Structure 1
Amino acid sequence: MNFYEADFKLNIVKEYLEGPLGGRALANKYDLSSNALVYNWTHSYQLFGNDGLKNRRSPKKYTSEFKRDVLHFIETTGASFGEAARKFKLPTGSMISRWQRSSLSSKEQGLPIRKGRSKREMIKPTKKQKKSKKLSREKELEREVELLRIENEYLKKLQTFQQTIMAKRNGESKSE
């Protein structure tokens, strides 16, 4: 697997955004293994700026709650992996695809974050940690409200879509 310097990636992204060449032409020009690299780098640059082009030694870890929220968003709205990645500011949609496959294959409700015990299980909670549980409960409720709003918005759009289809069908049957 080739690793490219951040400066090299930045030059290609800027040339893609400002110039007349597309991703395939730039991949051929710079002898890249795939034109998808150009599109992925551009996407990362647009979401995270220069930091999105830096090579990460260790990938960012996401909680199982966050993964479930992303998968729930996809299920309720019918969004693609790429759209969900942009909404939740994830580097790529393929990572969501992996989460979905692992959630389907696992028989447990939760998605695995990592193997082994967490550090929190090994240490007794302090007073500050006990207070933070209240905050996390508030955040959990806010997250649930946001998901319900998204679901409600989706259902409203679905209903209007169905009404327009029915109106078109009624209009066609009257004209015949």
Structure 2
Amino acid sequence: MVKFTVKQKLQALNLLKEGYSSCSVAQMIGTGSHQLIDTWAAQYQHFGVKGLEIRHTSQNYRGQFKLQVLNWRKEHDETYQNTAIHFKIATPSLICTWQKRFDEGGLDALFTKRGRPPMNKLPKKPVKYTSSELSELERLRLENRQLHIENDYLKKVEALARRKDAQRKKNGPSSKS
């Protein structure tokens, strides 16, 4: 994607003022899209030269604000560009991204935080049990161990029975007279 300087953007807007269409201006400066020229014009009209400056903001919008923006856009049936101007958002494509996230992931997708969640730096405290809880815990552990032993025993008995059946089938019917 080609980045244009403020000077280049102002030259394009001067061509618009001279009467050229946004399509012809786009061809003259090589943007490939007349919509970009229209966006520059709208940003210049509402924010002046500051609206044309390239911004690298790391603005962190809250989920409630995102929802408010999307609802306003839907209620007023507005474009992303006009919605961005109304809410003083630098890039209209950001609203488009919010809309896609909302459509794909629902309301929760708007309330996600950026970046990796913080690591818990506090060590986990050991759980302290009362004597009655300890005795209950010990009883449950013992019962669990007994059930594991019983389960293993039943598996071995079943395997032994299968082995005897397989051996009986291999040897054929026994002839006892």
Task: Summarize the Cα distance change of 1:22–1:61 in structure 2 as closer, same or farther, 3 Å threshold.
Answer: farther
- Counterpart residue number, 2:21: 22
Contact 2:39 2:81 in 1 (8 A): no
- Counterpart residue number, 1:5: 5
Task: Summarize the Cα distance change of 1:38–1:75 in structure 2 as closer, same or farther, 3 Å threshold.
Answer: closer
Please, what TM-score do these two structures have when normalized by structure 1? 0.56
Residue-by-residue CA offset, 1:109-160 (whole Å, 9 max, x unaligned): 3512412348xxx9xxxxxxxxxxxxxxxxxxxxxxxxxxxxxxxxxxxxxx
- Counterpart residue number, 2:36: 37
Shift of 1:102: 0.4
Q: Could you tell me how far apart the structure 2 residues matched to 1:44 and 1:51 are?
A: 8
Q: Alignment RMSD, CA only? A: 2.7
Structure 1 unmatched ranges of 5 or more: 123-176
Query: Which of 1 and 2 has greater Rg?
Result: 2
Q: Could you tell me how far apart the structure 1 residues matched to 2:36 and 2:76 are?
A: 28
Name which structure has the greater RCO, CA cutoff 8 Å, separation 6+.
Answer: 1
1:90 aligns with 2:89: yes
Percent of matched pairs sharing the same residue: 25
Classify the secondary structure of the residue corresponding to 2:89. coil
- Counterpart residue number, 1:55: 54
Classify the secondary structure of the residue corresponding to 1:109. helix
Contact 2:6 2:52 in 1 (8 A): yes
Task: Summarize the Cα distance change of 1:34–1:75 in structure 2 as closer, same or farther, 3 Å threshold.
Answer: closer
How many residues align? The count is 119
Q: Could you tell me how far apart the structure 2 residues matched to 1:27 and 1:79 are?
A: 24
Task: Summarize the Cα distance change of 1:114–1:24 in structure 2 as closer, same or farther, 3 Å threshold.
Answer: same
Task: Summarize the Cα distance change of 1:78–1:31 in structure 2 as closer, same or farther, 3 Å threshold.
Answer: closer
Q: Could you tell me how far apart the structure 2 residues matched to 1:102 and 1:3 are?
A: 26
